[in-house]
A and B are shown apart, each in its own frame.
Chain A
Amino acid sequence: MINVEDLRKEAKRILKEGKVKYVIGYERDQNGLLPKPAFIKDPDDVDRMIWDPTCIHNLTKFLVDEKKRKAAEKKPDERPVGIVVKGCDSRAIVVLLQEKYIDREDVHILGLSCENYGVIDEKKLAKKLKGKKAEKIELDDHGNFVITAAGGTIKIPADELLAERCLECPANFPVVYDLLLGDKKKKKVDEPFKSLEKMESLSENERWSFWTEQLSKCIRCYACRSACPMCYCDECVVDTINFAVTADTTATEKAGKIKWVEKSPAPSENFVYHMVRAMHLAGRCIDCGECERVCPLDIPLRFLNKKLEKEAKKLFGYMAGFDPDEPSLVSSFKDEDPEDFIR
């Protein structure tokens, strides 16, 4: 079990010593139970920091923001930022390091192990509570979450509340860190891609119906893209914004500017957008689940990325976010890469 005081002590130390600009962590949101991202600048503010199974956010997106902010400043503060990460989040940092988007010296990583559990899926919790408001969530010694709500306590087995990805987690403690709190014991996971198998066993038409129904809901709010730490392109393929228009640009040139995907949410365009995003994340997605968590229409986006994650492992023996020195999936190859599908 992690004592949050140890986390606060370390955060206080690095802030007091001026080692970091600020620490990105979790704090309680104003509505009571759920956490929200916190940016602690003052060493005396560290008591705001919390850590419990509700801390589901992937805070590494703010490292991307920090880099973009520094790039826009004339004389940026070059000190690193402190960041609280779980196992999955640390793999996101490894991918950013691997791609040289940030340097190791830009982050001071406060790693927290999920030990044998993980984080709670808010929607699963809401279902179990049936409208009651939870006030506190704790883990007991028998693998149950004990939830205090509306004057009573409810005991629920952890597996029924954990986020789907936590049940298949390959990295329950951070793979890179400056400080690690909690157990460094690998969680036993029976079947790493179990959630995908059901979908794969469906027929081609069933899968097509499923995806048509789900992706027709998409309103192209791009929240999935905004929440993903790996989507850091200054100009996304769906938003041709850097098309320089001068006095000499002709109407034909403007009309001919490359548009891979139309802006409107027709089903065919939604398919192309989501498939291109999945391809751009092949070998980079570390399944933090943020895309699915933020989607306002509950589209099960994780499956698309999970499928490519499985293929990367099965066909090429590749797992994203473990080794910052290994080349990325699509910019490397092995002689033994399968070619049975090639005529």
Chain B
Amino acid sequence: MAENFEPKIVAFLCKWCSSAGSDLAGVSRMQYPPNVIPIQVMCSGSVSPLYIFDAFNKGADGVLVSGCHPGDCHYIKGNFYARRRIALVKNLLEFIGLEPSRFQMSWVSAAEGKKYTQIISDFVEQLKPLGPQTKLRRNQ
């Protein structure tokens, strides 16, 4: 692996909780690795498996889906559906041989700016030794 490999993480953050949590980290000037490309979605339940496969297809080294804690979803049930669907996507990606740590999911509330920075830092540390994601990446 190249010494300066900086993994690119695509993070699908639900607007009401996780994206707000990442904003809190920002306004509080918490330091965390700048490797995230955040994509705000209305609800973690609206994240389609297509988005995740597309992120890997376009070259993401890691993908994160983050939503509200169960019971706190702005749309009541969206994150429960996400919990099921993402479990299936994760199992499928592992089954075809993608490194399991490349795809992660988390519950981050609007007040958990610190937790968000922790998740991203840990994610980057896990991805660095794995190197660039070439398995599902579209070839030039």
Contact = CB atoms under 8 A, between A and B. Distances in A.
Interface of A: 199-200, 204-211, 237, 260, 262, 266-269, 271-272, 275-276, 278-279, 282, 304, 307-308, 311-312, 315-316, 329-333, 337-339, 341-343
Nearest to A303: B95
Contacts of A278: 92
Contacts of A315: 87
B136 A272 contact: yes
Contacts of A204: 94, 97, 99-100
Nearest to B99: A204
- Give the top 8 A-B pairs by smallest Cβ distance, nearest first: A208-B97, A333-B80, A207-B97, A343-B106, A279-B49, A268-B138, A211-B96, A342-B105
A331 B107 CA distance: 20
Q: For B84, B88, B107, which residue has the most chain A Cβ atoms within 10 angstroms? A: B84
A270 to B, nearest CB: 11
Interface stretch (B8-16, B21-29, B32-40, B50-58): B50-58
B121 interface: no
Given A208-B135, A330-B81, A333-B77, A338 B96 contact: no
Contacts of B49: 275-276, 279
Given A271-B53, A279-B89, A331-B81, 18 more contacts: A199-B95, A204-B94, A204-B100, A206-B97, A207-B95, A208-B135, A211-B96, A211-B97, A266-B138, A268-B138, A271-B136, A330-B88, A333-B80, A337-B83, A341-B90, A342-B86, A342-B105, A343-B107
B76 to A, nearest CB: 11
Contact of A276 (B53, B70, B93, B94): B53
B57 A268 contact: yes
12 contacts: A204-B94, A267-B139, A272-B53, A304-B92, A307-B91, A307-B92, A333-B81, A337-B84, A339-B83, A341-B87, A342-B106, A343-B105
Nearest to B135: A208
Nearest to B108: A343
Nearest to A269: B138
Nearest to B89: A279
A279 B88 contact: yes
A316 B84 contact: yes
Please classify how large the interface on chain B is, using the bins under 10, 10 to 19, 20 to 34, 35 or more: 35 or more
B44 to A, nearest CB: 10
Contacts of A338: 87
Chain B residues touching A, majority SS: helix
B96 A275 contact: yes
B95 to A, nearest CB: 5
Contacts of A266: 138-139
A262 B100 CA distance: 26
B74 interface: no
Interface string B61-74: 00000000010000
B114 interface: no
Nearest to A316: B84
Given A208-B96, A337-B80, A342-B83, A260 B54 contact: yes
